[in-house]
Structure 1
Amino acid sequence: MTHDYKRNGTTTLFAALNVLDGQVIGQCQQRHTHAEWLKFLKKIDRETPKDKTLHLIADNYATHKHPVVQEWLAKHPRFVMHFTPTSASWLNMVERFFRDITTERLRRGVFTSVPELITAIDQYIAHHNTDPKPFIWTKSARDILQKVIRANSRLSSKQNAALH
């Protein structure tokens, strides 16, 4: 940031990413409370086919587990929540999307108001969705699982050696 940088406000971007085709559902909110999270879940519900089961991966933020949210989710069983462990990496595709919107649209942008920032985010998502790209794993699931098993084995042997 330069010495004359002026912050004109912030927004919270909620984003749901379809890992099969790369489409994004996005919504900007003033805050990140259970009420805003619930609004976003309702938007996802409206904008996705009703016959699809939706697996959502979220961090362990208390907002995502609020009793009001849990009550809504209980009434909408097609939403299956998966929570990442604390300090765990998110799904790579999600991280890539946030990196891309930051570097391609937000980092060098000049926004004189929050509505202007939200418009830029909405336009980026709309443009992204004209030709979305799914994340393609370069390794097979078997290769990844074998690497995890080897890592766990080495970690266990080091821990056992440290105990003796």
Structure 2
Amino acid sequence: MALTLTVSERRRLKTMAYGRKTEYQARQRASIVLLAARGRSNARIAHETGLHLDTVRVWRGRFAHGGLPALADRKRSGRPAHFTPVQVAEAKALACQLPAETGVPLSQWSCPELAAELTTSGITDTVSASTVRRWLREDALKPWQYRSWIFIRDPDFRAKAQRVLDLYARTFEGFPLGEDQYVVSSDEKTSIQARCRCHPTLAPSQARAMRVNHEYGRGGALAYLAAYDVHRAQVFGRCEPKTGIVPFMNLVTQVMTTEPYASARRVFWIVDNGSSHRGQKAIDRLTTAFPNAVMIHTPVHASWTNQIEIFFSIVQRKVVSPNDFTDLTQVRNRLRAFEGRYNATAQPFQWKFTTSDLDNLLARLDRHTPADRQEESSVALAA
């Protein structure tokens, strides 16, 4: 007996049967009903679709009694839960504790270790590591990972950071910078070694990455000092045997005796708190040598606010690694050549961290800092 379809049912069934995004099972069921509506017998439908006769009989009967909603899968009870919600919650709570707090001599949890501890402590009978991993995945818990951080201890952190960020936005003390004022970010990259590999480095080939021999001979080390014009995206660098006040002032002299900095109204030098340029003595030293130079220090332990670190990361990836140099002369030549290549096409970094982001960061840190820790920090700063 043929099934009778309404216009809307026929349209929806055709969409299910011929739609490219329809699931395979839904397409099969829709095809069975459409063929049944044309008066086909169950045996003929089974032959044309390649399905079992019982399958055709089931879905034809379900549609006859329940319409389109009957073509969906029925709810299944599934296997009874082996672990209670309380056990799952206790497992997640354990993952959020440091192992040392529970007396376990581990630095961080892994899923097998968590499963073993759940069994040992009597929270569960026996649980697999994959089950624990599935529980943790529900709340994006990854106790085997960690990130290091450092607590802000500079009492003038916000003021110093804001001054640096304002310079990046071409303002200083509330006034916009003129065309004859420049912002230079500077620092040192220490201990760049010349590692001569015991066997030549092999170039990459099909289905094979570059190969660098593990053993090497040491050819000495040098320091790379660089100054980066934030808004003109120009780099000035030099190699020195070591860092210090004299090498840093050599870099300053190299930049400040070059136009347009020599005749500029002001050149702001953004530096961190390294020993080569730390404190008021460094400020006075710079101003004495070059009256149009202004030294701006980043907050303590906040070198991430210094854009030269971005350039140093580029140097590390593109020039230094993998380290395979015969001697220090080759290192100097490579760095000097890279400066010219970089300056030919460089664009200013798209610095997006603003003073508003700084305020949000500090507010977020305040919310996560216990009151007693804040009091300890205040006492330490006062001392």
What is the TM-score when the length of structure 2 is the normalising length? 0.38
| Equivalent residue letter for 1:29 | E
| Alpha-carbon distance, 1:56 to partner | 1.2
Aligned pair partner of 2:302 in 62, 85, 88: 88
Q: In the superposition, relative to structure 1, how do residues 20 and 42 fare at CA in structure 2: closer, same or farther (>3 Å)?
A: same
- Aligned pairs for 1:139-158 (under 5 A) are 141=354, 143-148=356-361, 150-151=363-364, 153-154=366-367, 158=370
2-structure distance, mates of 1:27, 1:161: 43
How far apart are residue 95 of structure 1 and its match?
A: 1.8
The structure-2 alpha-carbon separation of the partners of 1:30 and 1:148, relative to structure 1 and needing over 3 Å to count, comes to same
C-alpha displacement at 1:145, in angstroms? Answer: 4.0
Letter in 1 for 2:352: T
d(CA) in 1 for partners of 2:286, 2:362: 38
Pairing 1:114–2:328 present: yes
Q: Which residue of 1 aligns with 2:352?
A: 138
Q: Distance in 1 between matches of 2:236 and 2:322?
A: 23
What is the Cα deviation at residue 99 of structure 1? 1.0
Do the aligned partners of residues 69 and 6 (structure 1) sit closer, same or farther apart at CA in structure 2, a change above 3 Å counting?
farther
Structure 2 residue aligned with 1:37: 248
Please give the secondary structure, in 2, of the residue aligned with 1:11: strand
Task: Give yes or no for contact 1:34–1:69 (8 Å, CA) kept in 2.
Answer: no
Q: Is the 8 A contact 1:14 1:28 kept in 2?
A: yes
> Which residue is 2:46 aligned to?
none
Q: Give the counterpart letter for 1:28 in structure 2.
A: C
1:28 corresponds to which residue?
239
Deviation at 1:44, TM superposition (A): 1.1
> Aligned to 2:347, what secondary structure does the other structure show?
coil
- For 1:110, the aligned partner's letter is D
1:56, 1:90 → 2: CA distance?
Answer: 15
Note closer, same or farther for the CA distance 1:96–1:117 as it changes in structure 2 (3 Å cut): same
**Structure 1 position 17 matched with structure 2 position 17:** no
One-letter amino acid matched to 2:271: A
Deviations 1:115-144 (A, max 9, x none): 1100000001110000111111335x3531
- Mapping of 1:54-69 within 5 angstroms? 54-65=267-278
- Write the letter of the residue equivalent to 2:292: R
Q: Distance in 1 between matches of 2:366 and 2:214?
A: 51
| RCO higher in structure (CA 8 A, sep ≥6) | 1
Q: CA deviation at 1:84?
A: 2.2
Partner of 2:316: 102
Distance 1:149 1:62, change over 3 A: closer
Separation in 1, partners of 2:254, 2:374: 51
Q: Specify the code of the residue in structure 2 equivalent to 1:38.
A: M
Q: CA deviation at 1:160?
A: 6.7
Asked which structure has the greater CA Rg, the reply is: 2
Contact 1:38/1:69, CA 8 A, preserved across alignment: no
Give 2:318's aligned amino acid: E
Is 2:319–2:338's contact at 8 Å kept on the other side of the alignment? yes
Total equivalences in the alignment: 161
Shift of 1:40: 1.0
Q: How does 1:40-51 map to 2 (within 5 A)?
A: 40-49=251-260, 50-51=263-264
Amino acid at match of 1:123: A
Shift of 1:59: 1.8
Identity of matched residues, % = 22
Q: Whole-Å Cα distance in 1 between the matches of residues 318 and 253 of structure 2?
A: 28
* SS of corresponding position for 2:304: coil
Distance 1:84 1:42 in 2: 21
1:16/1:26 contact within 8 Å kept: yes
Q: Distance in 1 between matches of 2:285 and 2:365?
A: 37
- The separation in 2 between residues aligned to 1:40 and 1:75, in whole angstroms, is 12
